[in-house]
Amino acid sequence: MRRGLSLFLSCLFALSFSGAFGACAPEGPSGFVTFNLKPDGSCVYTPNASGSTFFSSGLYDISEGAKQGSAGCDSPYRVHLLVNSFLKPNADTMLGRAEPNILQLHSAKVELTTLSGDPLRFEAEDPPLPNPFLVTTNNSLFPAQGATPTAGVAAVEVIPTAYALYLGDFIGQEIMAVIQIQGTTTGDVDVEFKPFSYPIEICDGCLSRCSSLLLGMGAVKREDFAMDECDDNAGADGRICWDPEC
């Protein structure tokens, strides 16, 4: 059972008798998201905040494929968030107390809205698709040292493929993904990050190409597409989906 009032009372007890909060999370934000990372030249997402580049907004191709009736580009939209933890070390080797402030991320609550903040409705399904909804993620952030937070990467599927089918009304427009990372410390304290709002432009076919273009004499090469940074067929944020069905 997660601790509410009992956590508060135990924190007061710890403060009174040991001068420390033990596994208690501090007041204020314990974790936050900086931005949505771009991959490096090897298509790897790294948490090197000083040298990281990022997307200020997203681009998602909701087309299922470059050919009518194809499902070769039916992919979700994912972000790779630079996440930070400000929890401080609180292990005590003299008392045999293991570190209680390692923050283990496990999920993210996502809400898709208009730019004005109105939740999108996905009622064509029976039952309707939930919004907001919960998706999984994972990483472990060790306690911060000094004034510098510990950083890591959390991959989050913010638009599952089931939702993409109902975004046709937003082609050529932006929607907003409001993402709240959630985790639990090794001391069993739940931590919710401050929500991170990220705009995503919706298109239909702008990042989809037939893989047949890559075959034969004089064929198009992947490097001919300057935006195609990663060979992951994502169809998002500059990465082309090469539809294998055409």
Domain ranges of the chain: 5-11+20-204
In this prediction, residue 42 carries a pLDDT of 81
Give me the chain's average pLDDT, please. 82
Q: Say which range, 96-100, 138-142, 205-209, 214-218, has the weakest mean pLDDT.
A: 214-218
Here the tokens at position 143 are: 């306690």
Mean pLDDT of 44-58: 81
CATH number of 5-11+20-204: 2.70.50
In this prediction, residue 21 carries a pLDDT of 38
